[in-house]
């Protein structure tokens, strides 16, 4: 399950780096997170970076230039 993170830093990353920040289950792999996100929003993810924080996995999904992150954030209700 993917849940968007809507902190100030996350919104800044959307605007500056075309990156969406989401929270995922700690046991999910990068490939599974990427596949689930791409299928859910019909976008192409270029890179994914993850980190474990407070027993949760935080994923930074950098989108392809043809898919603006601001559009995905609007669909999610983040902006």
Q: Mind giving me the DSSP string for 26-59?
A: TT--HHHHHHHHHHHHT--EEEEEEEEETTEEEE
Answer yes or no: is pLDDT of 78 > 90: no
Q: What are phi and psi of 19, to 5 degrees?
A: -120, 135
Quote the pTM value.
0.92
Give pLDDT tens digits for 19-58.
999 999 999 999 999 999 999 999 999 999 999 999 999 9
Gyration radius (Cα) of the chain, Å: 11
Q: Which of 56, 57, 72 has the alpha carbon at shortest distance from 14?
A: 72
d(CA 37, CA 64): 13
pLDDT at res. 1 = 83
Domain spans of the chain?
A: 3-76
pLDDT band at 76 (very low <50, low <70, confident <90, very high): confident
Q: Which of 21, 27, 78, 19 has the alpha carbon at shortest distance from 56?
A: 27
Residue range 3-76, CATH number: 3.30.70.330
């Amino acid at each position: 399950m993917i849940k968007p993170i809507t902190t100030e830093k996350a919104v800044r990353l959307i605007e500056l780096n075309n990156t969406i920040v989401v929270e995922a289950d700690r046991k999910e792999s990068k490939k599974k997170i990427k596949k689930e996100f791409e299928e859910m929003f019909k976008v192409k993810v270029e890179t994914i970076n993850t980190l474990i924080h407070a027993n949760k996995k935080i994923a930074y999904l950098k989108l392809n230039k043809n898919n603006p992150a601001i559009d995905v954030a609007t669909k999610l209700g983040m902006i």
